[in-house]
Amino acid sequence: MAPADLETFRADARAWLAEHAGLRGVDADSDSASIAFADIDDTDRLERGRAWQRELHAGGWAGLGWPVEYGGRDLPLSFQAVWAQELSAAGAPPPINLLGEAVAGPTILTHGTADQQRRFLPPILTAKEIWCQLFSEPGAGSDLAAVSTRATRDGDGWVVEGHKIWSSGAHYADRAVLLARTDSHVSKHEGCTYFLLDMHQPGITVRPVRQMTGGAAFDEVILDGARIADEDRLGPEGGGWAVARTTLAHERLQLGLGLARAGGSVERILSELRARGVADDPIVRQMAAQLVIDARCAQILGWNLLGRRLLEGGGPPGPEAAVAKLASGRVTRRYDELAEAMRGAGAMVNDGYTRLQLWAPAARIAGGTDEVLKDVIAERVLGLPRSG
């Protein structure tokens, strides 16, 4: 579509958000991606999140890239990036079912049968069914193909035994995407199968993982005899790694969208800086300048990611995603440092900011630790010898 159409879209998004986002009661410290997931004991946030996603869906702002027949608008990435920017600039929260809309749904669209798409896709955009991701394990994080959770054939279905960890929103999820080992006699990549799991059944124990924020937005999940019908297997038996690569590619696509919207929170904190009358403080000014520089670089990386044919084609994430992830963590830390400097002792009594400050170290861990990402960059970008 022509640039004028994109600008019309931006104006429509901005007008809709101006009318609706203020009703969410969101403050300037609460647009961290972490709080898309409600704490185990924050049922009010969960219900507000469901209501907000229903409102987004009713307004035509959910599933922008989805096919029209499943409730989307079939818009290209440039429009999705503009929406992400405007959502951030308005201080509005992301959808509560972000993983379902942005990761699980697109994976089902790519690999699912017509019956699976008919059954699983419609409830996602309205948050009627919220999804989580059961990938990482205590011994399989950065090396995801090393999963040891087993799915064993049992009649016309599967029985699952294993242990997953760092599963955001699992305590309130209705369904999950699950990567499990179905054959231990072949290579680790060939022995995995991908499933769509009903979380409301016996044999599933969800244990919240308390963070130093005091909350618990993610969990460990014990699978002890949980059952999956074979019709809920996504892709062929033993073909789970190819399906998981699609999921990972869409995760990196969300990283690109997140970086493209980095300017929204920066503009808000700069407005607060001026309102507090500390814009003349030389230390604060230097920190603000560094935040703006890092955020602008992150935005450029985000746009580059969005433009990669690799991601648009559902291929595996490349080394450029590691660079972008490091940039994202740096912006989070710069934001945190500036907020602390300009608020001084007042930062310690601001509950919203305190939560954000305590969450900030997670930016170095979630989605791949800084150390692992630097190894990826060293080996796959710079061509240096493998570490170890």
List the catalytic residues.
251
Q: Where are the beta strands (DSSP E) in 63-156?
A: 131-134, 150-154
Pairing between strand 175-181 and 131-134?
A: parallel
Distance CA 56, CA 350 (A): 29
CB 81 within 8 A of CB 257: yes
CB 150 within 8 A of CB 160: yes
Burial 184-193 (b: 16+ CB within 10 A, else e): eeeebeebbb
What DSSP designation does 36 have?
G
Query: Which is nearest to 248 in space by CA: 138, 108, 107, 378?
Result: 107
Sign of CA dihedral 19, 20, 22, 28: negative
